[in-house]
Structure 1
Amino acid sequence: MPDKHPGGGLSVAKDSAYTAILSDTYSTEAPGLIRYFKQRMRDDEDANDLMQEAFARLAAHMRTKILVHPASYLQRIARNLLVDRMRSARRAAATIGPTLDELPEIGAAPEQSFGIERQDVMRLYKAAVDGLPEQTRQVFLMHRVDNLTYREIGEKLGIAVPTVQYHLGRALARIAQALDD
């Protein structure tokens, strides 16, 4: 246990060791800690604030006990700070409720626009299926509508299973392209 001043701090000898360890830890760990927080935070100022808070907590802990591996302890502090920040943000969001941007528009019922979009997609889908070459369309419909296996389709049409797979892949690619266009 380190020697303590009557006021509760470290002795003078331990105080200089504390300062040196903290200074070394700051110079080696601060850049990485800033990167760690920036990757997980939206605001660079928040990342800087969290880095300073992490070192303040480390310094407060080291006033009472010199750590052999302060970087490991600092990483744990950083993770805990992020968890605390995320919990606070969730609580605040739950308390406030949705923002105006998150609320649906009142002017038009979404069901109506979904119905129109569904009709457009179905029209494009039907046109794409109708535009497939005869055998490709036949394989596609047998598989999707009649729920036949590749082997059953091959037996009915007199073609090999790899040929069935080829036609089905070709149909799916053309339909996907038609829907994307």
Structure 2
Amino acid sequence: MNPGLDKLATYFIVKALKNGDLSAYEKIYKAYYSRLFNFARKFQSTSSEPDDFVQQTFMNIWEKKELLDENILLEKQIYVICKNIILNHIKREQKMQSYSNLDDVLPYPGEDQSTLEGSNEEDNWKKNKLASLIDQLPEKRKEVYLLHKLNNLSYEEISESLGISKKTIANHIYLASVFIKERV
């Protein structure tokens, strides 16, 4: 197989893929896996590896094969899918990091942030408020949030410990952060 597929080859392989032909899917996988992996390595992510992005790309190709256009070079379509997966993941990571600072999440009501320095009563209020909000989370979300935020475990470590995907972990942490932020 060529490193990439020309327009004619794209037309026939996408048609076969749309008809559920697994051999067409395998040809695409073999033709593009290493190139996509090298492409994904250029992006920085704290919670996912390039292989995760490539695997997600191929999952999307199979699950949404009917959306592929046989009149557009397959290579372009595959790179756009992978790029969008990576950029969406990075945006979610940046959103979650913006929630990770407790001073941003739990300000003392009616007080300027600069007045919070060194006050035990105010620190206790923030801790109690945070504990109360965390207790309101669904059990699995609470467990994931505490493992990540309080125990400083990585997504990989949480994934191995709980047997859930890193994407599910990211979703739990994001939803927990939004829940907390909305209730302050």
Same fold (TM over 0.5): no
Q: TM-score range by the shorter chain?
A: 0.3 to 0.5
* TM-score calculated relative to the size of structure 1: 0.40
Task: From the CA coordinates, give the structure whose radius of gyration is larger.
Answer: 1
* TM-score calculated relative to the size of structure 2: 0.40
Instruction: Point out which structure has higher relative CO (alpha carbons under 8 A, 6+ apart).
Output: 2
